[in-house]
């Protein structure tokens, strides 16, 4: 029985190595196709990698660049957004997203956020919520160690230092925890999508018989509010709301 278990572990180990090598080879093939301006081939390979379950901000960024070069602006914006969702500090993706957004038809005036909220959102966007979570745990652990020093060490100066540093790390831990929570809400709970069709008409209700409110065009980003059957209620940056068919948008 032990031999079977060991043999299975060895097979899994070498299988993982082979899978990683195959994955890296596929990425190299896609990157090579992109450099040779064979954008359709690059797109096909990048998407095949995604279908295998491998996800990374760099992969979505490269795929977005290939779509951009192929004049598929909506799909390029979608993948730049996905790269930034995985890594909010991805400056190259943010810059290219701004360039792609200049090519879309809809120019929507964004409702300005209260400056403190805007500052807070920018701050929590420095890291992914996973990173904030790890930082919170690390700083809490340091605060816990310093608390132990304060309670069990007799040296007065060392106890004072541990006391103040412990409060500082506890404060940092709380800030990181709140940042992780906020970033999780922004990235996971609040959902966004990109208009995929060339032109769509936003309805006043989730029905073909609903009143036409306003048109939107390919590449525009919308917030998803709720789903009713084949319809999704959306909100655009200026606060206007309405309904679109699910098939007309692609979720980020």
pLDDT at residue 12 greater than cutoff 60: no
pLDDT of residue 112: 65
DSSP string, 115-176: HHHHHHHHHHTTS-HHHHHHHHHHHHHHHHHHHHHHHH---HHHHHHHHHHHHHHHHHHHHH
This prediction's pTM: 0.69
pLDDT of residue 120: 82
Residue pLDDT, tens place only, 189-233: 789 999 999 999 999 999 999 999 999 999 999 999 999 999 999
Domains and their CATH numbers in the chain = 2-101 (1.25.40.10), 115-178 (no CATH), 191-251 (2.30.30.40)
Residue pLDDT, tens place only, 141-171: 999 999 999 999 989 999 999 999 999 999 9
Question: How many whole angstroms separate alpha carbon 235 and alpha carbon 101?
Answer: 18
Are 62 and 46 spatial neighbours (Cβ–Cβ below 8 Å)?
A: yes
pLDDT of residue 13: 42
Are 77 and 249 spatial neighbours (Cβ–Cβ below 8 Å)?
A: no
Range scoring the smallest mean pLDDT among 21-30, 78-87, 118-127: 118-127
Q: Show the tokens assigned to 164.
A: 């103040």
Count of beta carbons in the 10 Å neighbourhood of residue 200: 22
| Average of per-residue pLDDT values in the chain | 88
pLDDT at residue 122 greater than cutoff 70: yes
pLDDT of residue 18: 41
**Closest listed residue to residue 85, CA positions, set 55, 107, 62, 105:** 55
Count CA atoms within 13 Å of residue 169 on its CB side: 18
Range scoring the smallest mean pLDDT among 86-95, 105-114, 201-210: 105-114
Angle at CA of residue 246, ends 240 and 247, nearest 5° = 125
Long-range contacts of 111-120 (CB under 8 A, 24+ apart): 111/237, 111/238, 111/239, 120/182
CA distances from 126 to 16, 57, 112, 115 (A): 33, 15, 20, 17
Residue pLDDT, tens place only, 124-136: 878 888 899 999 9
Binned at pLDDT 50, 70 and 90, residue 1 comes out as low
């Amino acid at each position: 029985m032990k031999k079977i278990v060991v043999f299975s572990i060895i097979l899994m180990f070498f299988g993982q190595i082979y899978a990683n090598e195959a994955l890296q080879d596929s990425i190299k093939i896609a990157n090579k196709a992109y450099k040779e301006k064979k954008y359709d081939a690059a797109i096909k390979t990048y998407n095949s990698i995604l279908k295998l379950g491998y996800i990374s901000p760099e992969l979505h960024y490269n795929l977005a660049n290939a779509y951009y070069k192929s004049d598929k602006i909506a799909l390029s914006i979608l993948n730049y957004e996905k790269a930034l969702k995985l890594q909010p500090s991805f400056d190259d993706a943010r810059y290219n997203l701004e360039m792609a957004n200049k090519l879309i038809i809809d120019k929507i005036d964004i409702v300005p956020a209260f400056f403190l909220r805007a500052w807070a959102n920018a701050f929590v966007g420095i890291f992914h919520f996973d990173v904030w979570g790890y930082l919170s745990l690390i700083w809490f652990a340091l605060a816990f160690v310093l608390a132990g020093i304060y309670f069990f060490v007799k040296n007065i100066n060392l106890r004072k230092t541990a006391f103040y540093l412990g409060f500082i790390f506890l404060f940092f831990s709380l800030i990181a925890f709140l940042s992780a929570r906020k970033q999780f809400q922004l990235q996971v709970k609040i959902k966004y999508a990109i208009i995929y069709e060339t032109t769509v008409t936003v309805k006043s209700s989730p029905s073909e018989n609903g009143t036409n409110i306003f048109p939107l065009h390919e590449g525009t980003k919308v917030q998803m509010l709720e789903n009713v059957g084949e319809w999704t209620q959306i909100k655009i940056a200026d606060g206007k709301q309405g309904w679109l068919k699910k098939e007309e948008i692609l979720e980020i």
